[in-house]
Structure 1
């Protein structure tokens, strides 16, 4: 189902006209209260565009900064070249970006609206697509070939590879891998005890124990997850909310950090959309980007701990909704086909109200077996 939906969408991308050259609407008289970062994933030179956010959620383009690396693509992705979640991450004044085309990771310091490039370092594998940060630990997911997780220690704003923190997923994929077979996301639990990795078509969520010094357990615990597990987020009640891209659903798990086991809390809850891949928490609400139908669905957690669908279509995207972030209580969504970022106000009942659209970003364009276009979005709180 996901392949059919995305291939149908992909057929329209090669003939799509260029987006408006505008960098977004002008600010409505407000002062800067936050920043939103968008990764261009440019094959000739990856870069980060910085947008200022005012109190009304409106974005205004500020500047663009080169990562010192190259963008990349999985094989045959329709609107999401990296086919992943969390390829750009902000933490405590630092910004981390993957350079999929050059197998590197870039570390920036955020200084006002400026990005100071501190380091470009090997990702530990092929085609890095996702990363996560917890205190002084950073883990990078490389999707190419066997699939590799590489751990780093962050010391004095510099990344240092951790011996014993490079682990294979044993996927036996080519490089680059088909988008459906590439692992999608790496994430560290809030207590800093476990690293999770979703493997999409392999229908497994791998769990590595974080051991002394940031080393990872030699073998992961493989948790079956039928339905193509893609994006996930740790929820406000101590669980994990995971999207299932093939069944267009969300499922919730409890994580036993001692043994790496995930236990489903109730059944997966479908939304009736197409290609449900990315998930973002805003307060007690959870939003899912559906690339195939260019919509956003909304969920919450019920009193019994199970997933509850609020609205199958909480908002409509401009075309090919992909990765998301939150800043100041607003939800910001990348539209890969349209080359835009939409910003929504989150209302008290979880409904979404469009407040801003940034245009002129790189659109997804199919070129043979690869797709050029932006992917990766992050923000200050």
Structure 2
């Protein structure tokens, strides 16, 4: 039987009491091999929904932990709204309704809220971090802002780091560091652009350089092996028209096309993740209620493995893979559930029997450890 998370929150006095006291919220969680996190993005108080991850990959609901901020109550059109940082010692989330970022300390029993900090702009939707340097994408103000993540879980704004995107009204979806931390990239859903920022030694992002995306509506992205970048292209939601492009990162961060707009044959491919070994990527196709899989060649070339590696519940959004690549998770926002899957040797996905609580349709972001 599915359980409404808001009913659970009202009955989970221990969770709320722990946060109010600045302690760790366990919600009676037992020690598990790992955990999964997403956020409700609720207007009356954003919260992190915690799931234990079993040895078989099955997700079991633990409880909600308030973020100290508010959401928008609607989809954010983003990737990267919830991230883990510093070897999974901290969890960061955007509060898009209150223009803040929350940081939690992570341990095997739960989360402890350590700070809530202004995001440096309007409508934060995506976060990225590299070696203690955090950048936020503020989609409402078409800007990015930088912070230092301290050992105690505070976010310290970097003076002079607020920088505009290359174009206004970008409907920007994601910000991400290159693997070496020398460059930042931002996708523009509305302008069909990908911005590149050079990151200086003091953590300041400068010299924004835009390039035109191979396909329309560049959305989510993920980095692979050998300086490869995979970008989903939603094609404005056109039926069965979504694509994925691969780029190689040049010496100065420039993006060189390897495979341009490989078709998924599905609708609204908006989110993308890469397997830990870099050999497979997946897209979640919100309009088709499916996950597509691609095989990645040595140079980053793409070959469609299965346009429907999994059929999901309604409205799949953010995805995440475990570090060992054995288990796969996806938020099915329109259905209000978290889907959990075993990753087979051929990269196909097998659903794990069971059910998850009823999450709000505004749910956004996904991180797993």
TM range (shorter): 0.7 to 0.9
Measure how far apart 1:302 and its partner are: 2.1
What does residue 253 of structure 1 align with? 247
Q: Compared with structure 1, are the counterparts of its residues 282 and 137 closer, same or farther at alpha carbon in structure 2 (3 Å cutoff)?
A: same
Query: Taking structure 1 as the reference length, what is the TM-score of the superposition?
Result: 0.84
Do structure 1's residue 212 and structure 2's residue 165 form an aligned pair? no
Q: Where do 1:252-331 residues align within 5 Å?
A: 252-258=246-252, 260-283=253-276, 284-327=279-322, 328=324, 329-331=326-328
Q: How far apart in 2 are the matches of 1:37 and 1:48?
A: 6
Q: Tell me, yes or no, if the aligned pair for 1:100 and 1:127 is still in contact at 8 Å.
A: yes
Per the alignment, residue 337 of structure 1 pairs with 334
Aligned to 2:80: 86
1:207–1:261 contact (8 Å) kept in structure 2? yes
C-alpha deviation, 1:44, in angstroms: 0.6
Q: CA separation in 2, counterparts of 1:257 and 1:113? A: 43
Equivalent residue, structure 1, for 2:123: 127
Flag structure 2 segments of 5+ consecutive residues without an equivalent: 9-29, 236-240
* 1:158, distance to aligned residue in structure 2 (A): 1.6
Greater RCO structure (CA 8 Å; 6+ sep): 1
Show CA shifts across 1:71-107 (max 9, x none).
Answer: 116xxxxxx7110001000122100000000000000
Aligned length, in residue pairs: 333
Q: What residue number does 1:111 align with?
A: 107
CA distance in 1, matches of 2:117, 2:222: 26
Task: Give, in whole Å, the separation in 1 of the partners of 2:298 and 2:251.
Answer: 23
Aligned position for 1:161: 157
Equivalent pair of 2:222/2:229 in contact (CA under 8 Å): yes
- CA drift of 1:379 comes to 1.1
Q: Aligned partners of 1:121 and 1:269: how far apart in 2?
A: 40
Output one character per residue of 1:9-44: Cα deviation in whole Å (capped at 9) or x when no partner: xxxxxxxxxx932679xxxxx972110012111111
Question: Bigger CA drift: 311-320 or 324-333?
Answer: 324-333
Residues 247 and 300, structure 2, Cα contact 8 Å, conserved in 1: no
Q: 2:12: which partner in 1?
A: none
Distance 1:210 1:250 in 2: 26
Tell me the residue number matched to 2:92: 96
1:118 alignment partner, SS class: strand
Per-residue CA deviation, residues 105-136 of structure 1 (Å, 9 max, x unaligned), is 00000122311100000001000000011111
Deviations 1:269-318 (A, max 9, x none): 11111000001122321110000111000012124531111000000111
CA contact (8 A) 1:268 1:307 kept: no
Report the CA distance between 1:356 and its aligned residue.
4.7
SS where residue 191 of structure 1 aligns? coil
CA 1:83 to 1:57, structure 2 compared with 1: closer, same or farther past 3 Å? same
CA distance in 2, matches of 1:313, 1:221: 35
Q: Tell me, yes or no, if the aligned pair for 1:40 and 1:361 is still in contact at 8 Å.
A: no
Contact 1:343–1:354 under 8 Å retained in 2 = yes
- Residue aligned with 1:322, SS: strand
1:345, distance to aligned residue in structure 2 (A): 0.7
- Indicate if the aligned counterparts of 2:133 and 2:147 stay in contact, CA closer than 8 A: yes
Say if 1:341 and 1:357, in contact at 8 Å, map to a contact too. no
Aligned pairs for 1:136-155 within 5 A: 136-145=132-141, 147-155=142-150
Question: Quick one: distance in 1 between partners of 2:231 and 2:353?
Answer: 28
Give the distance between the partners of 1:97 and 1:374, measured in 2 at CA. 12
- Residues 207 and 257 of structure 1: is their aligned pair in 2 closer, same or farther, counting only changes over 3 Å? farther
Counterparts of 2:150 and 2:41, CA distance in 1: 27
Between the aligned partners of 2:300 and 2:69, the Cα distance in structure 1 is 43
Aligned residue number for residue 228 of structure 1: 217
TM-score by length of 2: 0.86
The CA deviation at 1:357 is 5.1
1:71 aligns with 2:71: yes
- Which residue of 2 is the match for residue 20 of structure 1? 2
* Offset, 1:222: 0.6
> Is the contact between residue 190 and residue 217 of structure 2 (CA under 8 Å) also seen in structure 1?
yes
